[in-house]
Amino acid sequence: MRRMSLLLAVAIGACACAAGVHAARSGVPPLIFPVVGTVAYQDDFGDPRGALRHEGNDLLADKRAPAVAVEAGTVKYWTTSASAGCMLYLYGASGTMYEYIDLNNDLTAVNDNKGTCVKGTAYAVADGAHVDAGQQIGYVGDSGDANGIHPHLHFEVHPKGRAATDPFPFLNKAAHLLVVAPPAGSTFTLKLTGTLVALDTGELTLNVQSLAAWPSHLKQVKVNRPISLTVSDPTAVATGLLPGTKITVWTLPAPGTLDAITGAPGALTLDKFR
Ligand SMILES: [Zn+2]
């Protein structure tokens, strides 16, 4: 919730340019959405916070929801700020720097504040780790000045490592992950539940409502997005199904490519069907 700058008050409203143009000039690349799962956020960049202004967006999510790398880069811990709590910097390969603030500091399901800013509690990787886009790097929480309020990720975008810019337009265009990337060299599978949109030769599209993932055991609800699966074995699918039918499908094990973990069309293959 913290960190602000009077300088930003000048920047807000000064740029009437289209968001796309702004993004291109900023050098900020297309991002992976920094939290996996159900998230609520609004454009609270620049909002008054005491005498200062909010330098990021607050992404409200479940306690310990995975925080993932928005692009490939290097993680650096920051553990000594009373207001930021457990925080990390992601130095992106593009030259953009991102701040992940108010990460988890609890050891139990309640707000115990008994954890410290260490791997396994606040962070999912070691200090100094090089990470891929979509790799889990932290856990959403309520440390620092977020203590006791709704768990969220305070997320900042610093183009070229300089002053914070509004994350909102980048977040709105970001690709959401179905699942965190599995460990390098391994695979993941998904169980998807939703309604049939279309069933054509070689492809099944469903509007996914909920999912479960292995080996991460991550569950998501209110997904509400269409996913198209490759059908390599036509006998795996019942015939004569009408659009709108509620279905559950499993995917074949897939490597953790960006296409696969974002559910790009055809990147996942149907295993079985119910
Ligand atoms: Zn915040």
Instruction: Summarize pLDDT for 42-53 with one digit per residue, the tens.
Output: 999 999 988 899
* CA 218–ligand 1 middle distance (angstroms): 25
For 254-260, the CB contacts below 8 A with 24+ separation are 254/187, 254/188, 254/189, 255/182, 255/186, 255/187, 256/134, 256/181, 256/182, 256/183, 256/184, 256/186, 256/187, 256/188, 258/32, 258/133, 258/134, 258/175, 260/188
* CA 43–ligand 1 middle distance (angstroms): 11
Q: Which two tokens stand for residue 155?
A: 């997320």
* CA 155–ligand 1 middle distance (angstroms): 7
Contacts of 109 (CB under 8 A, 6+ apart): 63
* CA 17–ligand 1 middle distance (angstroms): 25
* CA 89–ligand 1 middle distance (angstroms): 15
Q: Which residue has the tokens 């509007």?
A: 207
* CA 1–ligand 1 middle distance (angstroms): 3
**118 pLDDT above the threshold of 70:** yes
Sign, Cα dihedral of 169, 175, 181, 186: negative
* CA 245–ligand 1 middle distance (angstroms): 41
Instruction: Summarize pLDDT for 218-244 with one digit per residue, the tens.
Output: 999 999 999 999 998 878 777 778 999
Instruction: Determine which helix (DSSP H) or strand (DSSP E) holds 51, and give its type and residue range.
Output: none
| Identity of the residue numbered 218 | L
* CA 154–ligand 1 middle distance (angstroms): 4
Calpha distance 208→177 (Å, rounded): 13
Q: Which residue has the tokens 């709590």?
A: 85
Higher pLDDT, 96 or 26: 96
Are 88 and 123 within 8 A, CB to CB?
yes
- Full-model pTM: 0.87
Chain-centre distance for alpha carbon 13: 28
**23 pLDDT above the threshold of 70:** no
Q: Which domains does the chain have, with CATH numbers?
A: 6-45+53-173 (2.70.70.10), 187-273 (2.40.50)
* CA 119–ligand 1 middle distance (angstroms): 22
Are 27 and 123 within 8 A, CB to CB?
no
Question: How many Cα atoms occupy the beta-carbon half-sphere of 88 within 13 Å?
Answer: 36
**183 pLDDT above the threshold of 90:** no
> What pLDDT, on the 0 to 100 scale, is given for residue 238?
74
Q: Which two tokens stand for residue 200?
A: 């054509």
- CA proximity to 98, closest of 46, 155, 154: 155
Supply the DSSP symbol for 88: E
> What pLDDT, on the 0 to 100 scale, is given for residue 171?
98
* CA 20–ligand 1 middle distance (angstroms): 24
* CA 59–ligand 1 middle distance (angstroms): 8
H helix intervals, the chain:
6-11, 19-26, 168-173, 258-262
Higher pLDDT, 127 or 19: 127
* CA 40–ligand 1 middle distance (angstroms): 13
Percent helix / strand / coil, the chain, rounded to 5: 10, 40, 50
| Identity of the residue numbered 47 | D
* CA 173–ligand 1 middle distance (angstroms): 20
Q: Which residue has the tokens 């768990």?
A: 151
* CA 146–ligand 1 middle distance (angstroms): 8
* CA 12–ligand 1 middle distance (angstroms): 17
